[in-house]
Amino acid sequence: MKKVLLIEDDKFLVRVYAIKLKKEGFETVFLGDGINAEEVTRKEKPDVIILDMVMPNRDGFETLKGLKSDEMTKKVPVIILTSLNSEEDKKTCLDLGAVEFIQKDKLSIMEVVDIIRNYAGA
């Protein structure tokens, strides 16, 4: 079973994705912010990470930098799922190593799951 690490502080969105990802055959691990992202990634070994950018304590930019600078986590594909919509934010995320930048209101949950499936090799 492929594993997804969802780093998201919106509890409603976490519940929605938890239900959908489980139904689609994924095991899912959740974090409410990016503080322990590298540690959890090393421990859980997810096939893909879904990362929000606007979170308390440690935002997505710092979390992405941390994940991509850690030898044990840098190869895990990171998909940005955010409410941010500027081209500058998108460029920054892709330059930092994200594989996709998705605006939360632009794709359906099923479309996001299809992207996750593609990067998780499922």
pLDDT the model gives residue 99: 98
Report whether CATH 3.40.50.2300 matches the domain 3-120: yes
Q: What sign for the dihedral angle of Cα 93, 95, 99, 100?
A: positive
Using alpha carbons, select from 5, 75, 12, 71 the residue that is nearest to residue 34: 5
pLDDT the model gives residue 121: 87
Using alpha carbons, select from 117, 109, 88, 121 the residue that is nearest to residue 8: 109
Q: What is the dihedral of CA 118, 91, 89, 71, to 10 degrees?
A: 60
Mean pLDDT by 10 residues, the chain (122 residues): 96 93 96 94 97 93 96 96 93 97 93 95 78
Sequence-distant (≥ 6) Cβ neighbours of residue 76 within 8 angstroms: 5, 41, 46, 47, 48, 49, 67
Beta-ladder partners of 81: 102
How is the chain split into domains, by residue range?
A: 3-120
pLDDT digits (tens, 9 = 90+) for 19-32: 999 999 999 999 99
pTM: 0.95
